Amino acid sequence: MPITIPLEALDEETLQAVLEAFVAEEGTDYGHRDYSLGEKVAAVRSQLTEGRAVLVFDEGTESVTVLPKDQIPSDF
């Protein structure tokens, strides 16, 4: 069962590494402009800080991802 991870549970270095890995793997098209890794990480961090997205740990795959809050099941 997936578990949400509060941002405060991770030290800054670990959070940065998780966000960089997520951004590097997620493959989203950001439109006509190329964005740097730092810009993409900052955008995801902003979504997490504002509560529009959450960090989720999946025990089955032992992986962490970022999900938009509106995609989290109500029984989660």
pLDDT digits (tens, 9 = 90+) for 42-75: 999 999 999 999 999 989 999 999 999 988 877 6
Determine the Cα–Cα distance for residues 55 and 4; give it in Å rounded to an integer: 6
For domain 3-71, give the fold: Arc Repressor Mutant, subunit A (1.10.10)
Q: What percent of the chain has pLDDT over 90?
A: 64
Q: Which two three-digit tokens encode residue 17?
A: 């590494």
Name the band, by pLDDT with cuts 50, 70 and 90, for residue 27.
low
Q: Which helix (H) or strand (E) holds 57?
A: strand 53-58
Determine the Cα–Cα distance for residues 35 and 42; give it in Å rounded to an integer: 11
Q: What confidence score (pLDDT) does residue 32 get?
A: 64
Average pLDDT over the chain reads: 88
